[in-house]
A and B are shown apart, each in its own frame.
Chain A
Amino acid sequence: MSVLASALKQEIPAFQADDDTCPQCKSERYLNRPMKLLVGPCYHKMCEQCVSQRFDAGPAPCPVCERILRKAEFYQQIFEDLTVENEVRIRKRMAMTFNKRQEDFKQLKDYNDYLEMVEDITLKLLYDDDTDEAEYMIERYRRENTSIIERNQSKLLRDETIQRLAFDQEQQRKLQQREEHLRLLAEEQREKTDIKNSLITALATSNMDAKDIVKAKMVQLKKSSLSARNSLRSARFNIDDMLADMDDDDELDEDEANNAPFDPAESPYEPVNIKLLDRYDDPKNTAFRQGGLTAAGVTREMHQRYLIEGALAGLFVSPLEEDAASSEEQ
């Protein structure tokens, strides 16, 4: 997800300054607190009232640059600097159309070329340089790639849903964990006071030696805090589990984006596709057959896969030809 999109999602408050003045009606924020300054596509400001006055009846020219504008095109400013605002809008618009991902390309070079093309168009729009051509290119691209654009948009939507879901689940689990912890603490406290109370009553009513009674109760007290500590420890384990789960979730999300992180356990080599039979006549691997000692973690299947990989490795490599030989000899 792009920074822009996430920024917009979190509803960053619109930019406001105390000395804002509407250039049309000259009303000031100082006098009119709730005044909303809107910005149109030509980046000239106007307050909300002026906009509705001017554009309620339909498209009308901007009072400053006379460009024809509509009411729907006005929106609230987020960034103080209007050039930033402009760039953000253009990039957002580009991202809607040019939403191909690296996975859509066979080679990294193609992807990079695509990115460069997008950036070229963006810059044209940004610097008002040949805008017509840029618009034409966008339109052509949109027509040619409608299906891909739609597919990627739905993918983006799915990614976001998954992210939100994972976030919610995590929050919920944290909450549960906290409740559990508090409950345990309260229980321990209650048990302690119970024992203390019973100690006092025992001292008051029983005929036994006071020393013995105190001793017995102390043992009980220790035990109860011990059991509480044990359950606390199990709660701690749960937290560990949760952390591990969270990691898993992250990985899943990354996979969804086909942006898998570096995994040292993953083979850097081209995997070989092998379908193993359930049973092989496997005369040499007596260790597996007799259930004897094997290296840690090695299974019969792994070993058979290893052997078959050996059989297929380099099977279709053609021998070196003469013209390659001259370099080989050096």
Chain B
Amino acid sequence: MADRPQLFEQTSQYQHWRFTRESLSKLRTENNRLGVDRVLHGLRQEAKVDDQETSDTRIAEATKNLLTPEEELKLIDFYLQRIKIYVTIYRASKLLKPDALDNVKATAINFMKRFYLHNVVFDYPPKNIMLTCFYLATKVENAFMKIEDFIRPLADAEAKRGSKTQTKSDDVLGLEFIVIQSLQFELAVHHPYRAVYGFYLDMQTFIDEKDALRETYDRTAHYIDKSLYTDLVFHYQPSQIALGAFKLAAKEKDLDIDLYLTQRFDARSLELLYRVLDEIQDGITTFAATSNDEAKEIDRKLILCRNPEKNPNSTLYKKTVAVQGDVPYVSDSDSD
């Protein structure tokens, strides 16, 4: 038979969302540079409609506090970690089916990572983007809930904290189109969870220590969860990440899965696979989450350097709305 394409090669994830480390960092630096330009341009525009003196100090403050690409990443990462917390909240209130949890979480995280490949936090602060990505992910992963149900736990938590602002359904839905557009309308995401379960089944053919294998499999979830926050998903296939997580778990549980690999695959392909697996294991183990304090610091800086064109609290934005008469939706998370 002539060479037929493989199924995974047809996925949008494989075709459009794979990058090298260099291209990824280049993309982010470039986005950051353009974002900074937009912020300064916006502030100068604002100076025309606002009190000259306050504008000058604002521009000066903003230039001092502009975020670097690294800071952007850290802030995004902080909100990625929050997704994990939200998942437990919705699970506790029985709004998410237990078997959809992993996929919703992973898809939401992936959406957010993809979104910030083409956007910057100056324009869209991550807090609301996170909620929109989360809500979108519940729909994509067939775990849909009503927007009222989605908002209620958030509003409750805010009321408990005594926060001034309250999340409204418009905050989530208004950004939805912007997010989907930035995702280039490609909503199917493939995660290592399915692959790792497949490996668990396949390994049973070659590995006799059933209990140890089961324990190892149960442990893999921990490493896969960790891998979601890294950039590994932009470099490697879900199956490779799954196997990397399996190796880490096996090391911990003292199980020899090389036995499986050497029997299952031929030596030449293993050579490549081992190199890839080493890189993935490195990526997972070296990952460190952003701490609360760090995130707070960056968040504070972000308030000063937001793009006024997209900030509903800015004078420029209010003026534009007044002139045009319609409300382009922007995210409001400044006052938090």
Contact = CB atoms under 8 A, between A and B. Distances in A.
A277 B202 CA distance: 9
Given A310-B239, A319-B276, A325 B205 contact: no
A320 B240 CA distance: 14
A3 to B, nearest CB: 26
B202 A308 contact: yes
Interface in B1-44: 2-10, 14, 18-20, 22-23, 26-27
Contacts of B235: 319-320
A307 B194 contact: yes
A107 B3 CA distance: 9
Given A277-B205, A319-B20, A319-B235, A269 B198 contact: no
Interface string B253-269: 00000000000010001
Contacts of A283: 214
* Residue from B6, B14, B198, B240 whose CB has the most chain A CB atoms within 10 Å: B198
Interface in A271-330: 274-275, 277, 280-284, 304, 307-322, 324-326, 328-329
A317 B19 contact: no
Range class of the A interface residue count: 35 or more
B242 interface: yes
Contacts of B27: 329
Interface residues on B, range: 35 or more
A312 B22 CA distance: 27
Nearest to B280: A319
Contact of A313 (B20, B26, B204, B239): B239
A311 B202 contact: yes
B14 A314 contact: yes
Contacts of B106: none
B243 interface: yes
A315 B20 contact: no
Give the top 8 A-B pairs by smallest Cβ distance, nearest first: A311-B198, A314-B237, A325-B23, A307-B198, A313-B8, A325-B20, A310-B194, A269-B7
Interface of A: 107-108, 267-270, 274-275, 277, 280-284, 304, 307-322, 324-326, 328-329
17 contacts: A269-B6, A269-B7, A270-B3, A280-B201, A307-B201, A308-B198, A313-B8, A315-B265, A315-B273, A317-B237, A318-B272, A319-B279, A320-B19, A324-B20, A326-B23, A329-B23, A329-B26
